Amino acid sequence: MSDTENRTEIAELGEFGLIRHLTQHFKPINPSTLKGVGDDAAVLDYANKKIVVTTDLLVEGIHFDLMYVPLKHLGYKSVVVNLSDIYAMNATPKQITVSMGLSNRFSVEAVSEIYEGIHAACKKYGVDLIGGDTTTSGKGLLISITAIGEAEAGELVYRNGARANDLICVTGDLGAAYMGLQLLEREKKIFLESPSVQPDLENQKYIVGRQLMPEARRDMLENFKSWALKPTSMIDISDGLSSDLLHLCEESGLGCRLDESRIPVAEDTLKMAMQFSISGTTAALNGGEDYELLFTIAQSDFDKVQNHPEISVIGFMTEPEKGRKLISTGNAEYELKAQGWKAF
Ligand code: ADP
Ligand code: MG
């Protein structure tokens, strides 16, 4: 942590002083936020909207490695992954809470960097920080973020709404965040073995950026609204395309045919995959952390998405008896399996 020259112990401020210091620049902007930080509980007014809630717990050493994850990026990403879950319901995030377990390894300056990232994400996505909790932890850093959002009842999109013959669509490209992680892990190992060798990540900005600072697809919800398109089912890709597509199949009680040749993989991702002797498809299927939206639409809606450069139609849903299949570029049929890397 880059805090050797300018280090304020958390104990100097105390818990309340720290919270005040961290949250002073957060001013609520959403009308649904009646009371934010500073009372025993936050107060929200959602009138007759449906409320969507999601939470994530991130543990140092399991979900992130501070050897190569800058604290500001950690704060940003922690928020974005939660907002992505709200968008995947076709809902709009409005508030977050942030809870942290901090050890005395962390200075006030270090925690402030995390909050700079949190602040940047709040600003970019228009959400209010409305509370949280702060406690000490033995050694590592823990961050838990809860996001709250809204939707009209008829707007919500679940994992279970797909029908046979619906088209499977995905936004952006896949596998980049995974290859970014592989690269960072490799460079970390090299650095630990010979600290004089500085990693050169300059040419790998795309995949490293996708790993360290992902974005949530708010733009797609805006597109869906303007096209009067309601996906029949939707999920965000956090565990890898295969695992997350299987979730849609499972919840909707369907099979699928996924066309390998249509899976979008960026050039930089392909190049790095080659260095690691895996295919771009493997990175896309089993990598994860893309935070792209995977959704199904009725065939009659095809014309709404077909010309969008950021949406790929990668297959279609089938009756369950047909199974869950990956059709390779060589036209061979494989069973689609979830190999997404799991924390457990
Ligand atoms: P309590 O003792 O009632 O739990 P706290 O002292 O923990 O209250 O929190 C005081 C206020 O600061 C509350 O509004 C709480 O939501 C907020 N808060 C506490 N920790 C954080 C944090 N890490 N980030 C943002 N807000 C926080
Ligand atoms: Mg508390």
Pocket lining: 118 vs ligand 1, CB cutoff 6 Å = no
- Distance, in Å, from the CA atom of 209 to the CA atom of 68, rounded to the nearest integer, reads 12
Mean per-residue pLDDT for 101-122? Answer: 97
Average pLDDT, the chain: 95
Is the distance from CB of 319 to CB of 254 less than 8 angstroms? yes
Task: Give, using CA atoms, the residue closest to atom 16 of ligand 1.
Answer: 131
pLDDT tens digits, one per residue of 314-344: 999 999 999 999 999 999 999 999 875 444 4
**Among 19, 26, 57, residue to substitute to test ligand 1 (most atoms within 8 Å of Cβ):** 19
Q: What are phi and psi of 132, to 5 degrees?
A: 165, -160
Q: Is the CB of 23 under 6 A from ligand 1?
A: yes
Q: Decide whether any atom of ligand 1 lies within 6 Å of the 84 Cβ.
A: no
Q: Read off the tokens for 84.
A: 């992505």
CA–CA distance, 267 with 273 (Å, rounded to integer): 10
- Encode pLDDT of 118-134 as tens digits: 999 999 999 999 999 99
pTM over 0.85: yes
Q: Is 41 in the pocket of ligand 1 (CB under 6 A)?
A: no
- The ligand placed nearest to the CA atom of residue 37 is 1
Catalogue all structural domains in the chain, each as residue range(s) with its CATH number. 10-155 (3.30.1330.10), 167-335 (3.90.650.10)
Q: Which residue has the higher pLDDT, 139 or 121?
A: 121
Assess whether pLDDT exceeds 50 at residue 3: no
Amino acid occupying residue 12:
E
Instruction: Decide if 184 contacts 308 (C-beta within 8 A).
Output: no
| Residue indicated by tokens 């690691």 | 276
- Would the pLDDT of 66 be above 60? yes
Q: How high is the pLDDT of residue 344? A: 42
H-helix segments, 194-313: 205-212, 218-226, 241-252, 267-275, 280-286, 302-305
How far apart, in whole angstroms, are the C-alpha atoms of residue 324 and residue 162? 14
Nearest ligand atom owner, CA of 15: 1
Residue whose CB lies within 8 A of the most ligand 1 atoms, among 37, 40, 114, 146, for a mutation test: 37
One-letter amino acid for residue 111 of the chain = V
**Is a pLDDT exceeding 50 seen at residue 236?**
yes
177-214 confidence digits (pLDDT tens): 999 999 999 999 999 999 888 887 888 999 999 999 99
- What integer pLDDT is reported at residue 148 of this predicted model? 98
pLDDT digits (tens, 9 = 90+) for 69-95: 999 999 999 999 999 999 999 999 999
Query: What whole-number distance in Å separates Cα of residue 18 and Cα of residue 12?
Result: 9
- The ligand 1 atom at the shortest distance from the C-alpha of residue 133 is 20
As a whole number, mean pLDDT of residues 162-168 equals 98
Report the separation in Å between the CA atom of 16 and the middle of ligand 2, taken as the mean of its atom positions: 10
Closest CA relative to residue 283, chosen from 298, 294, 271, 296: 271
Q: Note whether 148 and 56 are within 8 A (CB).
A: no
